[in-house]
Amino acid sequence: AQSVTQPDIHITVSEGASLELRCNYSYGATPYLFWYVQSPGQGLQLLLKYFSGDTLVQGIKGFEAEFKRSQSSFNLRKPSVHWSDAAEYFCAVVPSGAGSYQLTFGKGTKLSVIP
């Protein structure tokens, strides 16, 4: 069964510092890959997605993610974190091609930002 691992449960960074959130997946073929963000009391907002093509994808709010097939990873990055980025971040995958469209989520990484 496919799975998504986000090894960091909680990360704290200073405002203005760079950020990298890790995501590894386990799946037979390259799935579609997503990062969602959930602010306190809010729903899930899509930050970016990877379906195919350029392995470095740009998203909203200055985020980017790089797909590395050899490492089965899809890490999320931001060069300079803002206080408003404090939220929980979820990596998710769905099988590519025909068939299931169940999103499988990681457990999430909670980001705290120190002013």
Considering the rule CB under 8 A, would residue 43 count as an interface residue with other proteins? Answer: yes
Measured between alpha carbons, how far is 61 from 88 in angstroms, rounded to an integer? Answer: 14
Q: Please identify, using beta-carbon distances, which residue of 49 and 77 lies nearer to other proteins.
A: 49
- Asked if residue 27 binds other proteins (CB under 8 A), the reply is no
CA atoms within 13 A on the CB side of 61: 18
Measured from the CB atom, the residue of 41 and 115 that comes closer to other proteins is 41
Q: Which of 32, 1, 27, 16 is nearest to 114 (CA)?
A: 16
Q: Which tokens go with 90?
A: 């979820």
Q: Binding to other proteins by residue 31, rule CB under 8 A?
A: no
**36 belongs to the binding site for other proteins (CB under 8 A):** yes
23, 78, 106, 111: which one binds other proteins (CB under 8 A): 106
User: How far apart are CB 42 and other proteins at their closest, in Å?
Assistant: 6
- Residues with Cβ within 8 Å of 70's Cβ and at least 6 positions away in sequence, in order, are none
